[in-house]
Amino acid sequence: MTGTATRTAVLRIADISAGYGNIKVLHGVSVSVGAGEIVSLLGPNGAGKTTALLACSGLVKVSGGDITLDDESLLKHSAHVIARKRLAHIPEDRSLFPSLTIDEHLRLCARPGGLDVLELFPELKKRRNKKAGVLSGGEQQMLALGRALATNPRVLLVDEMSMGLAPVVVERLFAALQDIASGGGLGVLMVEQHVHLALKYAQRGYVLSGGRVRTQGSAEELVDRWSEIESSYLGR
């Protein structure tokens, strides 16, 4: 494996095994994320990428290894306590409340030091009194991202941010995330099916298959080797 981390890790997944009931999905997975760094989890459907994020958030039971945030183990904490420790998670379905307005979402989540979301996304400012259920897909994803950033997270977990969105919206969201990460020291662990999009904005990546890390490296290394990776590890 190539491409070791050069930054001090704020989130460290160390040799974890995890799954659902008697079904083990992750087998000895190790991943690290540094402050100000975007790291991509890549691989086919069923590789264990979403399970890894859920394990970090305390939503999937970890049966082996450890997950630490700023060197403190998260495994002894429930999901709501982990969130208070400044780990934010944007799931694939966004998990917005359709009957709450943009303003209500942000007021519920805002913490000292959190980002001014309405300045980041003026589109939301214009529609701040609209309920989430009537927003476009792009607006909903802006709100999901903004809600997470309003909590002043140390680490942000993002699952399939581009799903179902127009390319121009996707580029806007990823560019905003990149600026915030690099400017504010936010660590980001991102699951994204669009490999070249993910590696365009990430500094490093890990390739999962069958619940194991098959290779890792800098974004540039993985882009250059992607044909080999698909052939060797992903069976394409």
Q: How far apart are CA 174 and CA 224, in angstroms?
A: 21
Task: Encode pLDDT of 137-193 as tens digits.
Answer: 999 999 999 999 999 999 999 999 998 899 999 999 999 999 999 888 999 999 998
Query: Between helices 102-109 and 137-149, what is the axis angle to 10°?
Result: 20
φ, ψ for residue 230, nearest 5 deg? -60, -40
Report the candidate in 35, 17, 38, 39 with the shortest Cα–Cα distance to residue 26: 17
Domains of the chain: 1-86+185-236 (3.40.50.300)
pLDDT value, residue 236? 63
This prediction has a pTM of 0.92
| Mean pLDDT score of the chain | 92
Query: Between helices 167-184 and 137-149, what is the axis angle to 10°?
Result: 10
Q: How far apart are CA 69 and CA 34, in angstroms?
A: 11
Most confident residue range from 64-73, 111-120, 173-182: 64-73
Residue 77 has pLDDT above 70, yes or no: yes
Residue 217 has pLDDT above 90, yes or no: yes
Q: Could you give the C-alpha distances from 86 to 12, 55, 134, 153, in angstroms and in order?
A: 14, 15, 29, 4
pLDDT value, residue 220? 96
